[in-house]
Amino acid sequence: MDREVFETYDDDALENRILRSSLTACIALGEQARRREERRLHEAAQDKKVEGLIRKNSEAVKHAAQLEEALREAKAAAEKAKADGIAEGKAEAERAAAEAAKKAADEAQTAKERAAAEARGEAV
């Protein structure tokens, strides 16, 4: 009788050790999966941030191109006014070209600074 009790006790102890080690393995796998998911979410957030910066930079480049086009048009209008020999129109066109050039330069510089600040991660 004592021998049967002892063998049953040994079987139960072995089963408990097996269950404990299985539970430990499951917990470790769960932790591993959680860390993997956290890493994936972090990488996805970083990718989204980079995509946003790229999009903002593209928009700034497009805006700068539009300003350059407006500047070229203003200069062309000034050249046309000069060619036509209209003194008043010439002076006005030169003023408009100068204003457009200054505005374009200011806006391009602002866009460049904003894109640089965003690339560094600063708030704009």
Give the other-Cβ count within 10 Å of 75's Cβ. Answer: 17
Q: What is the pLDDT of residues 82-109, one digit of tens each?
A: 776 666 666 777 787 778 778 877 887 8
Buried b or exposed e, range 83-102, using 16+ CB within 10 angstroms? eeeeeeebeebbebbeebbe
Residue type at 57 in one-letter notation: N
Q: Is this structure's pTM higher than 0.75?
A: no
Band of pLDDT at residue 38, cut at 50, 70 and 90: very high
- Structure confidence at residue 31 as a pLDDT band (50, 70, 90): very high
Q: Where are the domains of the chain?
A: 2-120
